[in-house]
Structure 1
Amino acid sequence: MTDHVTTHQAQEDARNEDILIYLNGKVVPKAEAVVSVYDSGFMLGDGVWEGLRLYEGHWAFLDEHMDRLFEAAKAIDLDIGITPDAMKQAIEDTRAANGMTTNAHARLMVTRGVKTRPFQHPGLSQQGPTITIIMEHSKPSIPRPIRLATVPHIRGLPMTQDPKLNSHSKLNCILACIAAEKAGADEGLMLDVNGFVNTTNACNFFIVRKGAVWTSTGDYCMNGITRQKVIDVCRADGIPVFERNYSLVDTYGADEAFLTGTFGAQTPVGEVDGRQIGTGDMGPMTLRIRDLYKKLVEQDAQQ
Structure 2
Amino acid sequence: MAAALMRFSSVRLLAATLSPYGVHQKHGQISNQRRQFSNTYISVEMDDATGVAVMKMKRPPVNSLNLELLTEFAISLEKLEIDRGCRGVILTSAIPKIFSAGLDITEMCGKNADHYGEFWRALQEMWLKLYGSNMVTIAAINGSSPAGGCLLAVSCDYRIMADNKKYTIGLNETQLGIVAPFWFKDIMTDTIGHRATERSLELGMLYSPTDALKIGLVDEVVAEDKVLSTASAVMAQWFAVPDHARQLTKSMMRKPNLDRLVTHREADIKNFVSFISRDSIQKSLQIYMEMLKKKGS
Please indicate, yes or no, whether the TM-score normalized by the shorter chain is above 0.5: no
Normalising by structure 1, we get a TM-score of 0.24
User: Larger % of strand: which?
Assistant: 1
Normalising by structure 2, we get a TM-score of 0.25
User: Larger % of helix: which?
Assistant: 2
